[in-house]
């Protein structure tokens, strides 16, 4: 059977890599793909990004299953288009994807359905937002109400940072936000203290299956310093998600969200990602929802998944996830993102990449911002590679991943030296 994966990042490389291992899978297409997917003989890049053209391709190639990677395709209504044409696709509709594409929608939804989250206010004009920040003080969290490729959140530790973030979002759009229909808006939230974790589940509209837990590292620099990014690395499992915390998240956040969406007439199908803040008492609160797999969390999660992803997602699109029990590698997986110089605000592109290690059962380099030019691999985005490895412990997985990246070279490369440090300390 043929499979189509939509997207071009590290998440999509990892999903396509895992889907290609399916017993019934004969070919995996990636649209548009990247330099890494171009180099894998089991994968084939397709230079299509238009929603209707993708549906035409899926119909003509008799694609058995399409899997959506990034949020932009979801917000563009790709699931609605495919379903209208009787094509099997895994992901949420445009209406359901508002849980991610509109922070204001998500916060109002959580408030309505009593899902634990931070207190907030939404503003469409800068003077009111500035006045609110002055009244509330810092630290405080400023979020763009729209898609911003993971860079639309500023955790402002000072009032000056908060005011700057408001101007970035509402005045000059330095964060590159795709604003929603009502125009530019900003959600300002109470700062939550604790430890973050990523909790991702598969949903078929009614049934839910949780994936392995993970934790990513948003800040650019070691010790969680520097600006927020789309993610500089991740590991799985996340020790902070104890069995007790896991049960609370399912009972207080995930199931009320799925039931609430159904009650609101917008059944949720696809990957649902709850970004959590877990306090010292083990109480989880929702920082945000994403309506797709996380990046870079996907890379370590896919490294640990032993089940046939194609068969799992066929169940998910049949509405029979209640028949699925996932199998996991007991080892820890850890991924380190290698980013371009100037990332996250002004990433360099076009730098030649060399020294990539060979793929191995316990170590993979997943490509994100890469492309092939005249047969040579060059950087084409902010996050370039995610070097991911398995190990018997967090420390061993960490050492393996850092050993694997030592020979990789490109001008201006930057990466954190401490991915997994919280788990190592535990």
DSSP 62-86: T-SEEEE-SHHHHHTTHHHHHHHTT
Q: What is the pLDDT of residues 299-331, one digit of tens each?
A: 999 999 999 999 999 999 999 999 999 999 999
Please, which pLDDT band fits residue 52 given cuts at 50, 70 and 90?
A: very high
pLDDT at residue number 176: 66
For the cut 90, the answer to whether the pLDDT of residue 175 exceeds it is no
Whether the Cβ atoms of residue 27 and residue 2 lie closer than 8 Å to each other: yes
| Per-residue pLDDT at 168 exceeds 90 | no
Spatial contact of 369 and 383, defined as CB atoms under 8 Å apart: yes
Helix (H) or strand (E) holding 415: none
DSSP β-ladder status, 208-210 and 195-204? antiparallel
What's the average model confidence in pLDDT over 371-379? 95
The stretch 7-20 carries a mean pLDDT of 98
Q: Which residues have a Cβ under 8 Å from the Cβ of 354 and sit 6 or more positions away?
A: 377, 408, 409, 410
Average confidence (pLDDT) over 373-388: 96
Q: How many residues does the chain have?
A: 426
Strand blocks (E) in 48-170: 65-68, 89-90, 120-123, 140-144, 146-147, 153-156
Q: Which of 83-97, 168-182, 306-320 has the lowest average pLDDT?
A: 168-182
Q: Across residues 31-46, what is the average pLDDT?
A: 97
Residue 174's pLDDT band, with cuts at 50, 70 and 90, is: low
Task: Give residue for tokens 């973050």.
Answer: 196
- Asked if 185 and 126 touch (Cβ cutoff 8 Å), the reply is no
* CA–CA distance, 164 with 333 (Å, rounded to integer): 37
Percent of the chain with pLDDT over 90: 87
266-290 pLDDT, tens digit per residue, is 999 999 999 999 999 999 999 999 9
Which secondary-structure segment (H or E) carries 205? none
pLDDT for residue 92 = 98
Low-confidence winner among 97-111, 236-250, 401-415 (lowest mean pLDDT):
97-111
């Amino acid at each position: 059977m043929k499979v189509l994966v939509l997207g071009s990042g590290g998440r999509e490389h990892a999903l396509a890599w895992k889907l290609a291992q399916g017993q019934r899978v004969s070919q995996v297409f990636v649209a548009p793909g990247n330099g890494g997917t171009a180099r894998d003989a089991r994968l084939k890049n397709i230079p299509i990004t238009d929603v209707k053209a993708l549906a035409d391709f899926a119909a003509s190639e008799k694609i058995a299953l399409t899997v959506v990677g990034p949020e932009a395709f979801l917000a563009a209504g790709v699931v609605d288009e495919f379903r209208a044409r009787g094509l099997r696709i895994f992901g949420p509709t445009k209406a359901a994807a508002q849980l991610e594409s509109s922070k204001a929608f998500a916060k109002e939804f959580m408030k309505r359905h009593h899902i634990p989250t931070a207190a907030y206010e939404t503003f469409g004009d800068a003077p009111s937002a500035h006045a609110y920040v002055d009244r509330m003080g810092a630290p405080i969290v400023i979020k763009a109400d729209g898609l911003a490729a993971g860079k639309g959140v500023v955790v402002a530790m000072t009032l000056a940072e908060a005011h700057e973030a408001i101007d970035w979002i509402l005045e000059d759009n330095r964060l590159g936000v795709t604003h929603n229909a009502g125009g530019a808006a900003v959600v300002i939230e109470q700062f939550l203290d604790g430890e973050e974790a990523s909790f991702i589940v598969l949903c078929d509209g009614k049934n839910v299956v949780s994936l392995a837990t993970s934790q990513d590292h948003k800040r650019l620099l070691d010790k969680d310093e520097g600006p927020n990014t789309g993610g500089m690395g991740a590991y799985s499992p996340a020790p902070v998600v104890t069995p007790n915390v896991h049960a609370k998240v399912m009972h207080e956040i995930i199931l009320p969200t799925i039931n609430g969406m159904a009650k609101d007439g917008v059944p949720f199908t696809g990957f649902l990602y709850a970004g959590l803040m877990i306090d010292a008492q083990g109480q989880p609160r929702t920082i945000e929802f994403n309506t797709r797999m996380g990046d870079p969390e996907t890379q370590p999660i896919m490294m640990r998944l032993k089940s046939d992803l194609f068969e799992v997602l066929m169940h998910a699109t049949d509405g029979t996830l209640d028949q699925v029990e996932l199998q996991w590698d007991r080892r820890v997986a850890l991924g380190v993102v290698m980013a371009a110089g100037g990332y996250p605000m002004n990433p360099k592109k076009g730098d030649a990449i060399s020294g990539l290690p060979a793929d191995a059962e316990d170590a993979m380099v997943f490509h994100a911002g890469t492309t092939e030019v005249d047969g040579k691999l060059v950087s084409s985005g902010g996050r370039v590679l995610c070097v991911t490895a398995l190990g018997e412990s967090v420390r061993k997985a960490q050492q393996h991943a850092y050993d694997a990246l030592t020979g990789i070279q490109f001008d201006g490369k930057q990466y954190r030296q401490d991915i997994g440090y919280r788990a190592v300390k535990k």
